[in-house]
Each structure stands twice: as C-alpha cells, then as structure tokens.
Amino acid sequence: MNRFEMRERLENKLTKKRFEHSLGVEYVSGCLAMVHGADVNKALTAGLLHDCAKCLPADEKIARCQKHGLPISQVEFANPELLHAKLGAYYAREKYGVDDEDIRSAIEFHTTGRPAMSLLEKIVFVADYIEPNRKPLPEIDEIRNEAFSDIDASVAHILKNTLTYLDSGSCGDTDEMSVRTYKYYTSLNSED
C-alpha cells in the first residue's frame, strides 16, 4: 500500500482532528529525518500511521489486543489509551502492509519511548509532540528547537513535561516505561 492509499484508509478510521494531527506528525517526521539523516520515507510512513489505532473505544482496544495475542500490562489495563501504540504497530502490518520492523517499532514506542531508542523511534516520538496542530504546550518553542539541533535533549525535555503533567493529573498511572526512558535520556544529557 502506498502512502496515498494509507491516507485514504486512515481518514476513515480517525476523527478529523486526529487525522490532521497524523498528517502533521507525518510531515514533521519527514523533516526531522532530513535533518538527522534517517530514512525520510520510513519516517513519513511511521509518522502517518502512528495513531492508526487511536480512535477505538477503550474496551475495544483491550478486546482487540487480547484477540490478537498482544500482551497487556497492569498499567495498560488501568489506562487502555496506552494500548493504541502496540495495537497501531500490529495494524500497520496487518491493515497497511508495513513489513518494516523499524517503522513498526517507531509506532509501538511513540507514546512512552524506551531507553536507547533507534533514530526513527526518537523522530516519531518527538514529531508526535511538536507537530504544528498541537495546542500550545509549555516550553514548546525550546523543545521544537532542540528537536532539530539535539534530538536526545528534546526527548528528555518532552518526558520531563509529560511526567510532570501525568503526576499532577487525576489518573496517576505514570507508565513505568516513560520513567525509564526519562532517566535514560536525562543521564545521557548530563554526561557532557
């Protein structure tokens, strides 16, 4: 399936707003790939599809992960929104014909990140946060600048803001992987 066909399918699966966000992440992922020397086409595809499973109801997310044998952690059970990442990686292959492992892992880890991410994983993680359709977030100008000049710093910065927001929010379900990713990228940035 080419990206044109992917966009057509995706538009039917997402809300208007989520579809616009996906186009924003597609383009920004492509730009970041150009700057950082990653495969531009892979970045565009991963960015476009990263939220392809986002607009399912929470109980559907759980049911479909169970149906397809995708493991669900306790935190994910309590906060099924997190599941759209691994379910999205699964649908990228099954529904959009994406065979590429790099693309699928960039989709799978776009929400929490993980320690020692690949360049493509970092690109989609960062593009998801900085794309232009996002409503203004704290320190966004600085994070956008870092995204193009020092991508590891922008990963750490995004997680710091996300974890602050999660901790002060009502849900209290800080994903352990986000914390591990944050610690990893903070220690990287403090080494020099």
Name the site residues for Fe ion (rule: CB under 5 A). Answer: 51, 128
- Of 51 and 102, which has the nearer Cβ to Fe ion? 51
Nearest to 84 by CA among 107, 68, 104, 100: 107
First to last CA, the chain: 44
- How many other CB atoms are there within 10 angstroms of residue 19's CB atom? 18
In single-letter form, the type of residue at position 153 comes to A
**In this structure, what are the phi and psi dihedrals at residue 55, rounded to the nearest 5 degrees?**
-95, 30
**Cβ–Cβ under 8 Å, residues 147 and 32:** yes
Min dist. Cβ of residue 47 to Fe ion (A) = 9
User: C-beta of 128: minimal distance to Fe ion in Å?
Assistant: 4
Shortest Å distance, C-beta 104 to Fe ion:
14
Nearer to Fe ion, 51 or 108 (CB): 51
Return d(Cα 191, Cα 36) in angstroms, integer. 21
Nearer to Fe ion, 9 or 189 (CB): 9
Taking the least distance from each CB to Fe ion, the nearer of 17 and 187 is 17
Give least dist CB 127 to Fe ion, A: 9
